[in-house]
């Protein structure tokens, strides 16, 4: 019961924080928060405390399939958002994430699933659409939209956790890392702020998913021989290192892999002074 209450409270809190970050610091940072193991990490900590290291390691391996689903959702939504309406982009992303979930379950190998996720991340970032494409004028977000996003995220996580209790730690781990919060945030931001914001949000989530996948693999491998404290420290170090290497590898295409704007776009407009 404590785990359920914690996750249900954590989900809308993450949506609230991601919304604030997207509004204040840009949607890409909000997407990075959603792509990071913000909810899966605490879930695995509680698994260690309540069910033991072996069960938590199995849940971490299952969550790798969830990361493949996150990657395919973010990739599909980001590719479709500049060209279609939010409902259509969400439909395409759900189809892609459903296919990814079926593939991950059929493969039934965490290392191969992680490799597929990594390949999809690199290919997605290299072919990412121009963030400036915005066919519709953005509008201001209504005061009711954020509370609805928070309520929907809490309800979705409640259903996922209730199902995971009867499916075992591996499938439970997969359900814990599904892109529920991203599926709530991306269409809402798309409707309220325009497709550019949705593209930036999903780009941030796609970038952060690389480190999250490494986090889960290192954690699953290290929990048994090293114990929970050392395993989580190693997993966090692997996540930070992976994210840093990814930024360096894609630096030629702009910040975090986006395309560099032209020099004229980077120059600010200044007034002539006498």
Least confident of 54-68, 76-90, 172-186: 172-186
Residue 99: inside a domain, yes or no? yes
**Is a pLDDT exceeding 60 seen at residue 134?**
no
* pLDDT at residue 216, as a whole number: 93
- Output 82 or 20, whichever has higher pLDDT: 82
C-alpha closest to that of 198 among 97, 122, 86: 86
Residue 271: inside a domain, yes or no? no
Residue 272: inside a domain, yes or no? no
* pLDDT at residue 127, as a whole number: 83
Residue with tokens 């929970």: 228
Residue 268: inside a domain, yes or no? no
Structural domain boundaries enclosing 117:
2-135+147-258
pTM: 0.76
pLDDT tens digits for range 219-260: 999 988 898 899 999 999 999 999 888 888 767 555 444 444
**Is a pLDDT exceeding 70 seen at residue 5?**
no
- Taking the C-alpha atoms of residue 163 and residue 252, their distance in angstroms, rounded to an integer, is 44
Residue 141: inside a domain, yes or no? no
- Taking the C-alpha atoms of residue 39 and residue 216, their distance in angstroms, rounded to an integer, is 12
Apex 210 CA angle, 15 and 250, nearest 5: 110
Q: In sequence order, which residues have a C-beta less than 8 Å from that of residue 4 and are 6 or more positions away?
A: 158, 161, 162
Query: Total domain count for the chain?
Result: 1
Residue 273: inside a domain, yes or no? no
Residue 110: inside a domain, yes or no? yes
* pLDDT at residue 175, as a whole number: 72
Residue 142: inside a domain, yes or no? no
* pLDDT at residue 262, as a whole number: 39
């Amino acid at each position: 019961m404590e785990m359920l209450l914690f996750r249900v409270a954590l989900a809308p809190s993450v949506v609230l924080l991601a919304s604030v970050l997207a509004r204040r610091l840009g949607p890409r940072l909000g997407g990075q928060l959603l792509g990071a193991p913000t909810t899966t990490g605490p879930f695995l900590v509680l698994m260690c405390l309540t069910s033991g290291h072996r069960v938590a390691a199995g849940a971490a391996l299952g969550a790798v399939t969830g990361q493949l689903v996150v990657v395919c959702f973010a990739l599909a939504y980001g590719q479709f958002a500049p060209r279609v309406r939010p409902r259509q982009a969400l439909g395409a992303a759900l189809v892609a994430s459903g296919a990814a979930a079926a593939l991950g379950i059929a493969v039934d190998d965490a290392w191969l699933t992680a490799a597929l996720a990594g390949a999809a991340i690199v290919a997605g970032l290299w072919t990412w659409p121009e963030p400036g494409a915005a066919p519709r004028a953005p509008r201001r977000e209504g005061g009711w939209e954020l509370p609805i996003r928070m309520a929907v995220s809490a309800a979705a996580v409640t259903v996922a956790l209730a199902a995971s209790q009867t499916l075992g730690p591996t499938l439970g781990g997969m359900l814990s890392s599904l892109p529920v919060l991203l599926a709530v945030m991306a269409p809402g931001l798309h409707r309220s702020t325009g497709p550019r914001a949705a593209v930036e949000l999903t780009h941030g989530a796609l970038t952060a998913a690389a480190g999250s996948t490494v986090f889960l693999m290192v954690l699953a491998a290290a929990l048994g021989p090293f114990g929970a404290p050392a395993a989580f420290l190693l997993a966090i170090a692997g996540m930070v290192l992976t994210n840093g290497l990814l930024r360096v590898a894609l630096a030629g295409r702009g910040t975090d892999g986006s395309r560099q704007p032209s020099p004229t776009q980077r120059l600010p407009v200044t007034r002539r002074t006498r």
